[in-house]
Structure 1
Amino acid sequence: MTQSNPTAPTHGPDPDNDVVALLMAQHGQIRDLFDEVEETSGDARRDAFRRLVRMLAVHETAEEEVVHPYARRTAEGGEAIVADRLEEERLAKEQLAALDGMDAEDPGFMPALLKLRKDVMEHARAEERYEFAQLRRINDAARLAAMAKSVKAAEATAPTRPHPGVESGAKNAVMGPMAARRPARTS
């Protein structure tokens, strides 16, 4: 009889060793950051928004460099699935770039943020349903762990600001190191 470890997680795969769990955990962090931006004001809102911008830019870049190319090649209907996700990402980057140019206390900021949140959450649900589900189904644990490591490596050099029109792995690889070091605006 084997003993169970009472401190071991019982809620699914480890995000450090499973790309789907990693990306879904990041979707949760993005939701939490949207909540924080909505629930705060002044400097706290500006700070939360800066963290949201960074998280979205890094997360999407890693997906564009690692996950989408793999899904395009291996998932059933991968070409169409990825084309739809890239278009959603392009539109979200445009919205995020427009918001990034506004002050967080501008009267137009919150309506634009709420529109972005709706679009980003719909995008995340589509990824989870159409892309991530297939990645989980067609890959073994070793491949999912290798992809998680690749995503983390891509995030380490990803741009930290939105760059509309840069929705491919090759373009992100060129922009990443240069844009990742760009200092954040201090609204």
Structure 2
Amino acid sequence: MRQHGDIRNLFDEVEQATGAARKDAFRRLVRLLAVHETAEEEVVHPFVRRSLPGGEGVVEDRLAEERAAKELLARLDDADTDDPKFRSELAGLRADVMAHARAEERYEFIHIRRTAAPERLTSLARAVEAAEAMAPTRPHPGTESAAKNLALGPVTALVDRTRDAVRRAMGKEG
């Protein structure tokens, strides 16, 4: 839930900044969204599938939202952040991501808080942290499942993190 607030704040920062500052804020937003969604796909959604009556449908709805957001985010990832089209597409992405976050909070997170024992919550939190540490830093539409993330994630994360390092070295991160 804290990360949902961080995401909202980064959207604000991207919308209010200009030039290199906007580009930097957007890169941080892309990274946070990619890492956050991977952790949910690997940890939160499988737990909800197993423990919530009707969990399969709840998760499938969230995965469809995630895929749509990843597709738009992937298109925007290399876009010129000063292009007027960028701002309008960013507004659409923000609306989609915020609706998705509200649905997660309403249909998944509340169930987890109500039903999971404290020690289970602690183990879920540790699993989320571990997933985030190994997650890709770019959106990869089509990998919206724990199995695909676990199979493709480490290689994809290595490629993404190498790309991030090259961008920083070349001064293209902001």
TM-score, normalised relative to structure 2: 0.91
1:55 pairs with 2:6: no
Separation in 2 of the partners of 1:34 and 1:121? 10
Q: 1:122 aligns with which of 74, 83, 99?
A: 99
Please give the per-residue CA displacement for 1:128-150, whole angstroms capped at 9, x wherever unaligned. 00111111111111101100000
Partner of 1:97: 74
How far 1:101 moved relative to its partner? Answer: 2.6
Please give the per-residue CA displacement for 1:66-118, whole angstroms capped at 9, x wherever unaligned. 11011011012101100000000000000100111311011210000000000
Q: 2:120 aligns with which of 102, 120, 143?
A: 143
TM-score, normalised relative to structure 1: 0.85
How far 1:180 moved relative to its partner? Answer: 1.9
Q: After TM superposition, list the pairs within 5 Å mapping 1:1-187 onto structure 2.
A: 24-181=1-158, 182=160, 183-184=163-164, 185=167, 186=172
Separation in 1 of the partners of 2:152 and 2:18? 32
| Matched-pair contact (CA < 8 Å) for 1:37–1:49 | yes
Count of residues in Structure 1 that have an aligned counterpart in Structure 2: 164
RMSD of equivalent CA atoms = 1.1
Unaligned runs of 5+ in 2: none
Separation in 1 of the partners of 2:107 and 2:59? 9
Divergent runs of 4+, >4 A: none
Aligned AA (2:34): A
Identity of aligned residues (%): 63
Higher helix share: 2
SS in 2 for 1:108: helix
Larger Cα-atom Rg: 1
